[in-house]
Amino acid sequence: MADPPQDYAAQDPLEAVARQLLIEIGEDPDRSGLRDTPERFARWWREFSSYQAGQVERNFPLRTDGEIVMVSDINVWSLCEHHLLPFSCVLTIAYKPGEHVLGLSKFARIAQSHAHRLQVQERLVRDIAEEIAKVTGTVDVAVIGRGEHLCMSMRGIRTSALMTCSVFDGIFRDYGPPREELIKIAFPGS
């Protein structure tokens, strides 16, 4: 196989990787439809892996009377660390606030910050739960993630399925009203 031109590899090592990948799968990286693909590939990988969620620790003073706060249908994309293929995950996050509530957009920011790295879904859900607990100052946190993994849908068995994993801490750990309420919202009709 031909080595990438020296000046091409000097621009960005990820472009050289993409160019070599195209060659290895029998494509011509110099044909019109692929000419800019190595640059787009490199730009996407750098954009994905350097994602900055912004400030995630914005709390607002608000006295609650034991209500549970839930944010559902947060959609994130991540990359399976085993195959470097994408997986999408829909998240439901719940917590019982104390003297402050977390700003609404912070849930999505926290979820996105953990999704923008090589991941497995189980760790993604755990990492989000741990950061929510840290930022809110409560152990009463639950996160449910339902994901479709292209490493299963596009290769191997080649069938789609949803993987569900969860973290239940604090008041959500045991079966009872807080956990039941969360399950009803996360899985309507069950």
Catalytic residue among 112, 114, 116, 121: 121
Instruction: Indicate if 82 belongs to the active site.
Output: yes
Catalytic residue among 82, 99, 122, 180: 82
* Alpha helices, H only, 25-98: 37-49
Instruction: Indicate if 121 belongs to the active site.
Output: yes
Instruction: Indicate if 81 belongs to the active site.
Output: yes
Instruction: Indicate if 11 belongs to the active site.
Output: no
Catalytic residue among 39, 100, 130, 151: 151
Catalytic residue among 27, 39, 83, 181: 83
Catalytic residue among 15, 89, 116, 149: 149
Cα radius of gyration rounded to whole Å, the chain: 21
Q: Which residues, 6+ apart, have CB-to-CB distance to 176 below 8 Å?
A: none
Paired with 166 in beta bridges are 144
Q: Give the three-state DSSP class for 67.
A: coil
Catalytic residue among 57, 67, 81, 99: 81
Please give the distance of CA 27 from its chain centroid, rounded to a whole number: 31
d(CA 108, CA 114): 10
Instruction: Indicate if 149 belongs to the active site.
Output: yes
Write phi, then psi, for 138 (nearest 5 degrees): -130, 150
- Please identify every residue annotated as catalytic: 80-83, 121, 149, 151
